């Protein structure tokens, strides 16, 4: 397993408060990894350690195979980072800022021109690049934050609450951008408190609370593990013993509960197996009147996990 980010027993204290408490985190390369936790869980502190803004009090941090220790510009060369509510110098114009940042990455003048136009188009700031950043709204600064994170075409993009301050249309656009860049083999590490956003874009998640990791892995697996198995409710036209017997023998069904003509089926898989079940029922002579898959969401899993801890 190729890891983009790995923390081992990471510790960060602010005086007597332990913000990050022996955090062990593994982020696979080429995934969109959601980083979740309630307010004050230690998400932003962890991210700040990853990008070198804070020094850990203990543990080890590796980003793209390189250990993060002190001021290490070589690691940052491969990272695009958008902080939570980014702020940029008001005296610069949008284009000037991106041009200066591009130069810091060693991108040639010609290439900078092309890339700046491309990222401005992606984040919807084209036409406003010659305005001073001081004249930008919060949403526009947020878009500029995403643009500067994409500019160097990094291997790893760390986004801290990318949708904060954006209007609903902007949020949808950002999700689209995240999915698009991930398709091209970029690892996206995304911190967000919008669980539906994480559910829509992330393939993997890590949930932290009080600085420690409570769960980490593939999104569906985490949901299934925390919220229990997926349930399928099937209503038949008539009660049928044959249907019950056939379904009982399907490998992905662990339990069937009968309530007159309704069957409550407990699945052992998180995959969508409705077609197989429908086919089996029809083969056994049953007629399906109604079928509903009760898939539990990330929100429920998250709440269960936090309440439990």
Partner 1 sequence: MVYTSRISEKVSKKPKFSDRFLAVVKYELLWNIRKKKFLGVLIAAFAFSTLSLLLPVILSHAFGAPFEANPNFVIGRGGISSGFTLFLFALVSVMNSISGEFESGTIIPLVTKPVSRSIIFFGKVFASLLTISAAYSLLYAYMAIGGTVIYGPQNNLHLMPLCILGDLLSTFVWVSIVLALGSLSKNTILTAISAIIVFLAISISAPIVSVFSEGAWILNYVPGNGASGYVKGANQGMLPGTSVTTGTDSITSNLVRYILSPSEKVTYFKVEVGAGIKELYSEPLSTVLSRSMLVALAYITISTFTAWYAFKNAQVLE
Question: Using the rule CB under 8 A, is 69 a contact of partner 1?
Answer: no
Nearer to partner 1, 60 or 90 (CB): 90
Q: How many residues of this chain bind partner 1 (CB under 8 A)?
A: 51
Q: Cα separation of 212 and 204, whole Å?
A: 17
Contacting residues for 96 by C-beta, under 8 A, at least 6 apart: none
Nearer to partner 1, 81 or 302 (CB): 81
Question: Using the rule CB under 8 A, is 283 a contact of partner 1?
Answer: no
Question: Using the rule CB under 8 A, is 150 a contact of partner 1?
Answer: yes
Q: What does the longest C-alpha to C-alpha distance in the chain come to?
A: 76
For residue 123, give the nearest of 107, 104, 106, 145 by alpha carbon.
Answer: 145
Among 122, 146, 201, 265, binds partner 1 (CB under 8 A): 122
Q: Cα separation of 150 and 118, whole Å?
A: 10
Write the CA distances from 98 to 47, 158, 166, 219, 294, integer angstroms: 22, 18, 20, 34, 47
- Residue 132: DSSP 8-state: B
Q: How far is the CB of 9 from partner 1 (least distance, A)?
A: 20
Question: Using the rule CB under 8 A, is 65 a contact of partner 1?
Answer: no
Q: How far is the CB of 177 from partner 1 (least distance, A)?
A: 8
Window contacting partner 1 (CB under 8 A); options: 20-28, 107-115, 254-262, 265-273: 107-115
The residues facing 62 across adjacent strands are 6, 67
Question: Using the rule CB under 8 A, is 176 a contact of partner 1?
Answer: yes
Nearer to partner 1, 78 or 304 (CB): 78
Site for partner 1 in 18-57 (CB under 8 A): 48, 51-55
Among 18, 88, 250, 262, binds partner 1 (CB under 8 A): 88
**What length is written for the chain?**
309
For residue 145, give the nearest of 130, 131, 127, 157 by alpha carbon.
Answer: 157
Window contacting partner 1 (CB under 8 A); options: 29-37, 147-155, 262-270, 277-285: 147-155
Among 35, 95, 101, 302, binds partner 1 (CB under 8 A): 101
Q: How far is the CB of 146 from partner 1 (least distance, A)?
A: 11
Window contacting partner 1 (CB under 8 A); options: 66-74, 247-255, 270-278, 294-302: 66-74
Nearer to partner 1, 106 or 168 (CB): 106
Beta strands, E only, the chain: 3-14, 17-28, 32-36, 58-63, 66-67, 79-82, 156-160, 187-191, 204-209, 212-218, 231-236, 253-259, 262-267, 288-294
Nearer to partner 1, 74 or 241 (CB): 74
The binding site for partner 1 (CB under 8 A) comprises: 14, 48, 51-55, 71, 73-74, 76-79, 81, 83, 85-92, 96, 100-101, 103-108, 111, 114-115, 118, 121-122, 145, 148, 150, 152-154, 176-177, 180-181, 184, 186
């Amino acid at each position: 397993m190729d890891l983009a980010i790995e923390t081992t027993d990471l510790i960060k204290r602010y005086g007597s408060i332990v913000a990050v408490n022996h955090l062990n985190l593994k982020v696979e390369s080429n995934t969109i990894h959601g980083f979740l936790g309630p307010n004050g869980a230690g998400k932003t502190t962890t991210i700040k350690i990853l990008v070198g803004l804070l020094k850990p009090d203990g543990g080890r941090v590796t980003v793209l195979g390189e250990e993060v220790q002190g001021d290490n510009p070589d690691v940052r060369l491969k990272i695009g980072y958008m902080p939570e509510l980014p702020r940029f110098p008001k005296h610069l114009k949008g284009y000037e800022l991106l041009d200066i940042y591009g130069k810091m990455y060693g991108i040639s003048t010609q290439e900078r021109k092309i890339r700046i136009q491309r990222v401005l188009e992606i984040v919807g700031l084209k036409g406003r690049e010659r305005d001073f950043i001081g004249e930008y709204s919060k949403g526009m600064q947020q878009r500029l934050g995403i643009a500067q994170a994409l500019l160097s075409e990094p291997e790893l993009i760390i986004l801290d609450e990318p949708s904060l301050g954006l209007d609903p249309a902007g949020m949808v656009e950002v999700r689209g951008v995240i999915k698009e860049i991930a398709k091209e083999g970029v690892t996206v590490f995304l911190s967000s408190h919008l669980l539906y956003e994480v559910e829509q874009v992330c393939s993997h998640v890590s949930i932290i609370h009080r600085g420690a990791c409570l769960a980490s892995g593939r999104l569906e697996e985490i949901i299934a593990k925390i919220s229990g198995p997926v349930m399928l409710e099937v209503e038949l036209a008539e009660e049928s013993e044959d249907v019950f017997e056939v379904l009982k023998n399907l490998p992905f069904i662990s339990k069937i509960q009968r309530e007159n003509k309704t069957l409550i089926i407990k699945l052992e898989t998180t995959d969508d197996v409705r077609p197989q079940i429908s086919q089996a029922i029809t083969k056994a002579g049953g007629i399906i009147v109604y079928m509903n898959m009760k898939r539990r969401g990330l929100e429920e899993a998250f709440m269960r996990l936090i309440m439990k801890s």
